[in-house]
Amino acid sequence: IYEDKYYYCFRDVKRAFKEEHDFMSSKKFSKERYDKMKHKFGTIAYVSDQDITCQEALNMYKQRWEIELVNDFYKNTLELDSVKVHDDLSVYADEFINMLTLIIGYRIKNKFEDAGLFKTKTYREIMKIFKQYKKVQIPDKPDIWYLTRVAKKNEEIINKVLYS
């Protein structure tokens, strides 16, 4: 306890490995800077006005980070950060639709993650592939739906998601 604040400090080994790798890969790398920084890699410091256990503090940090990721996905990937209407009912309706879009978008993102697509592509790149994937109906044959042609590598990605 210091000045009525509680301080919690954690070391995440996975995070430390990534931070160390990123640091060593940077153009600013030097042995002297590395020696000064290496003990800080993977360190998470959490300040709170609550007297809680270390495990509770770590769980709160993880939940906060998940919320940050959702907000980032909401604003930057789905581009839902502005309301384009002004009366109360329209604002509520717009935010409700944005919330549904966020839920659906997150489910899609999780499917992409489960299929392992984020190892090689971004969310936008994958969505661009899926925009090409369409079923069309020919007016003469209303009972039959045809898939539009997509590149073979994109078809593999689509099938990976649809059938995983």
What pLDDT is attached to residue 68?
A: 81
Q: Could you read off the pLDDT of 8-67 as tens digits, one per residue? A: 988 889 889 999 999 999 888 899 999 999 999 999 888 889 899 888 888 888 888 877
Contacts of 51 (CB under 8 A, 6+ apart): 6
Residue 83 has pLDDT above 60, yes or no: no
What pLDDT is attached to residue 133?
A: 84
Q: Could you read off the pLDDT of 108-163 as tens digits, one per residue? A: 888 998 999 988 888 888 888 888 888 888 888 878 888 788 888 888 898 888 88
Q: Are 45 and 2 in contact (CB under 8 A)?
A: no
CA distances, 36 to each of 9, 15, 22, 80, 127 (Å): 19, 18, 15, 42, 42
The DSSP letter of residue 5 is: B
What pLDDT is attached to residue 36?
A: 92
Q: Are 130 and 104 in contact (CB under 8 A)?
A: no
Residue 81 has pLDDT above 80, yes or no: no
